[in-house]
Amino acid sequence: MKTVKLTQVFIRSLARQTRAYTIQDSLCHGLGVKVMPDKPMQYVISRLIDNRTRTRILAPVSALTVKAAREKATGQLQAWREEHTQPSMSASPRFDVFVEQTWKPMIFEHWKPSTKRSVLPALNRRLLAHFGRYPLHMINHRMVQAWFDEISKTRKGAANRNLDTLQSVFKLALRQGHCLTNPCIGIRQNKRRVLNRFLSVAEMQRLSVALDECEAVGGSIAQCADILRLLLLTGCRLSEITFLKGEYVRGNELHLPDSKTGAKVLYIGQAAVDILSRYHCKANTELFPMKQGASTSLVQSLWLRLRKQTGIEDVRLHDLRHTFASYAVMDGCSIPMVASLLGHKKVTMTLRYTHVGDDSVEQAAEVVGAVFKGIFTQPYPLKLYIPQTNEAPTPAEKVKQKRLPERKSTAKPKPKAVKKVKQVKPLQTPPSLTKEELRAIQRFRDSKLFL
């Protein structure tokens, strides 16, 4: 059976024949595309298990991409393997015991503090509550898939994050020999929402007026308003500003010891420096003296109120970071420069934050359109090629021949070849002979030639 690397272009090029045939994928063993003479093409999975060939139709080709078909095929193979393969082990640690005694000291403790704070509640509420009492080798792919689908009904993003944590646990368990396979392999995560929102100039002006009103109130409301301004002026994350300490601020630089991407240095403008200069504190204390953990909730509650007041209900707090990056790009900053301002290690991450407004897109379209208009309005430099046939040209071809000016050839014509006549070279003599002596020698030579 033919094996090739399946792609969308290759699948569309497959032709129907009088009999059905299957093309196997070279990257995912067992996955194939079945082409039938009278039915749509379908993804199929086939595998020899226990001396018996198992075959199943996954989905029509139009319903899944090649990548999604490979993931679904891997999950099906995993389920077949768990059904028909007898485990070689009869005992393994319980999930909760393994997490507390092995996974946490070896993996969890090496994570960043902010990552620990976000993972620990989900670990206790969802993972330990559901899988805690089962031995590791008894947790199979079907159980994990059912658990993932149940959480995805209400919280798709949380289901993706919990699945990542569960996969980390089973990677360590598989490496230590407590299970035969990783039951998380083959589970397709939920699609992430594509976010393409940043504030326009009018929206930022309305937001600035609302922040001025909050600053006039004073107290914690004024501090939250300054935090919101700093988010827009620096492009920082909320946790990077709310937990900012005096020792982190060094002129126009923020030296953050811990962030989402680790320790980094961020450069800020003079407008942000002026706001930070209002808060004078000791080196080891926070700039915004509110209760630990309460500053984030206060800022978020104020943001929800300001969104309704300014008519930007669809803008998240993190979209202020997108706005900072988008206006930097539209102002002429390069992508690597914006990556340095945001503290990204990879430029590909910065591309997710940079958006352009409709006005910028319209200006770019005008520029490109003007370039092509100049190309189209120039006279065509080459003569239209018409093959020499005995048939008379059509009226349309006659019109094209009249419209297109003939290009005058600037090449010089090649000279005609001239036959070279062999000539007898004159006698080379020393310069001491006179003319009369030369004539005598020439007459003597001619007489000898014609004898």
Q: Which two tokens stand for residue 41?
A: 């093409």
> Among residues 67, 58, 150, 168, which one has the least CA distance to residue 111?
168
| Residues 23, 25, 26, 30, CA torsion sign | negative
* Count of beta carbons in the 10 Å neighbourhood of residue 423: 6
Q: What percent of the chain has pLDDT over 70?
A: 71
User: Does the pLDDT at position 385 exceed 50?
Assistant: no
pLDDT category of residue 83 using cuts at 50, 70 and 90 = low
Q: What is the pLDDT of residue 303?
A: 87
Q: Does the domain spanning 201-320 belong to CATH 1.10.443.10? A: yes
Q: What percent of the chain has pLDDT over 90?
A: 10
pLDDT category of residue 258 using cuts at 50, 70 and 90 = confident
- Phi first, then psi: what are they for 33, rounded to 5°? -115, 120
Residues 6+ apart with CB under 8 A from 30: 24, 45, 46, 47, 73, 77
The residue that leads in pLDDT, 220 or 196, is: 220
Cα separation, 97 vs 346, whole angstroms:
37
Q: What share of the chain is helix, strand, coil (3-state, %, to 5)?
A: 50, 10, 40
The domain at 3-84 falls in which architecture?
Answer: 2-Layer Sandwich (3.30)
pTM of the full predicted structure? Answer: 0.51
Cα separation, 184 vs 132, whole angstroms:
16
pLDDT category of residue 380 using cuts at 50, 70 and 90 = very low
Burial of 286 (0-12, 13-18, 19+ CB in 10 A): middle
CA distances from 7 to 24, 26, 81, 420 (A): 12, 11, 27, 67
Q: Which two tokens stand for residue 307?
A: 């969104």
Contact between 298 and 312 under an 8 Å Cβ cutoff? The reply is: no
Tens-place pLDDT, residues 3-48: 788 888 888 888 888 888 888 888 888 888 999 988 889 999 888 7
Domain ranges of the chain: 3-84, 95-175, 201-320
Q: What is the pLDDT of residue 106?
A: 92
The residue that leads in pLDDT, 261 or 360, is: 261
β partners of residue 267: 253
* Count of beta carbons in the 10 Å neighbourhood of residue 365: 10
Average pLDDT of the chain to the nearest whole number: 77
